[in-house]
Structure 1
Amino acid sequence: SLAVPVPCPLTDRLADIARRHGMYIIAPLYERQGDKVFNTSVIFSRKGEIIGKHRKTVLPVMETWLVTPGDVYNVFELDFGTIAIATCWEIVFPEISTIFALKGADIIFNPTMGRENKQGESLATGHRYLTRAVDNRVYIAPVILGSDGNGLIDFRGNVVAEAVGEKNTVIMAEIDFSAEPLSEGTWWPTINGTANEKAIHYLSRRPETFKLLVDPTPPLLERFKNVKLTTGDREAQLRAVKKVDYGP
């Protein structure tokens, strides 16, 4: 009953806020399209226009009995840089962040319900976020519902800004997305022909050796051949969420 079409009165209100303040807004919501529901992040421009949306592609079991996964990894070129959105659990899968980086994302926003930092401690303890940032040479911006661990991490894994505690907070940081990660000293640029670490990283890739990453039946799955997830079993999922007091 909370799912809405896009656009709708709710998105109209968000569009008005974006327009009045001249800012971009990323709004996660449940989107209804026909008989399907998607976990969608809607992007509003500074003029209050809907300029894009990302539908969550990988769903935890408690979403699969209501939500349809998306299957597209778009990036969005804005007037300050190129952004991407990894919704909640998507940040757990390293391939997704890498796809966004390969498409040119400067920053990946992660609206989520689950923190990565140690409760009550700095975002610097959110090792998964730091890893995604450093591995892909992108900024990561976790936005966590009702919890600490919100902030901004740069492409070297440094916490640029964060909200400490669980109170409503506005985080502000000035970022120059034109600044590339450059190696200090002379040895690395002399050997490689450039000081640009991001260029070295991506020009050195050998995608022809990565085929196992897209193999639907890799050898590891043989170990789990007798494991059955509740995905697709609505009744089993409903029993499970009631047992742990999560959901209806």
Structure 2
Amino acid sequence: MKVVLVPMRVEDGNFNANWEEFQRRFNEALSHEPDFVVFPEYSLTGFVEWDFSGAELYGGIVERVSELARKAGVYVVFGLLEPYKRCVYNSALLVGRNGEVLLKHRKFQEPMGFCTGNTVKTARTEFGRVAIIICGDLYNKRVLKWIKRKRPDYVFVPMEYSPDHGEPNGEDVEVMAGRVGLLSAGTFVVNSYPPGGAWVFDGDGRLLAETSGEELLVWEDRG
């Protein structure tokens, strides 16, 4: 299984610029012949507290990304705002090789303004079962219980680690590794740029690979 993590440059509220960047980085990732291409949280709209206008783009975003996945024959994981009834969720999707949405995760760990998720699901692939959680969900006890119950083989974690906090440092990654070790699953984390960065951990929380800034992280698990 080959995974390409894309620490994508995201402009808050600028869908057209983000879409051009998404396509450019997607094509860059395809040059590595991946099975999975993974983008960050809010990857096509960004998010400024509390502007939910990007949720209006949900259907069009899903359609466009599904078409990219179908034409390339790859899995795509990415984050976006999802409107549902009177709610807006911070969500992430797994789109399959045929363009079908295989999995949706609604973030648990959110402050007021969003509705929050209450379950973790998995999807079957030819590489095993996969789950998605989002950013702060990695530190949420309820999410940990769901992951232990569902027992995925791999977990994808789109993030938006705020640039106000600076670049993730060694202590941040060590804490991240400790949480990943509790999941007991191979885990792929990708952050939006700035500050960017991407990380791959094994099921024991050992850091296997990392990149900083906008650099792609290409990881092949030969199982």
Bucket of the pairwise TM-score, normalised by the shorter protein: 0.5 to 0.7
Q: Deviations over 1:146-194 (max 9, x none)?
A: 1244121112332222212x12x322212245xxxxxxxxxxxxxxxxx
Q: Does 1:163 align with 2:211?
A: yes
Give the root-mean-square deviation of aligned CA atoms.
2.4
CA contact (8 A) 2:201 2:207 kept: yes
Structure index of larger Rg: 1
Matches within 5 A, 1:118-137: 119=167, 121=169, 126-137=173-184
Give the TM-score, by structure 1 length: 0.60
Q: Tell me the alpha carbon deviations over residues 67-103 of structure 1, each in whole angstroms, 9 at most, x when there is no partner.
A: 1112121122222121111212111124413421331
Which one of the candidate residues 111, 133, 140 is aligned to 1:86? 133
The amino acid that maps onto 2:185 is V
Contact 2:139 2:179 in 1 (8 A): no
SS at 2:219's partner residue?
coil
Distance 1:57 1:133, change over 3 A: closer
SS at the partner of 1:126?
helix
**8 A Cα contact 2:181 2:206, kept in partner:** no
CA distance in 1, matches of 2:145, 2:175: 13
- 1:56 aligns with 107
Unaligned runs of 5+ in 1: 178-248
Count of aligned pairs between the two proteins: 168
Which residue is equivalent to 1:3? 55
Unaligned ranges ≥5, structure 2: 1-52
Inter-CA distance 4–93: structure 2 relative to 1 (3 Å threshold): same
SS across alignment from 1:157: coil
- Report SS of the residue matched to 2:55: coil
Residues 8-46 of structure 1: CA deviation (Å, up to 9, x unaligned): 221111011111221111121111122221111121001
2:77 partner letter: I
Q: Percent identity over the alignment?
A: 22
* Aligned positions of 1:1-248 closer than 5 A: 1-4=53-56, 8-60=59-111, 64-65=112-113, 67-114=114-161, 119=167, 121=169, 126-146=173-193, 147-164=195-212, 166-167=213-214, 169-176=215-222
Q: 1:125, CA displacement in angstroms? A: 5.4
Query: Secondary structure at 2:103's aligned position in 1?
Result: strand
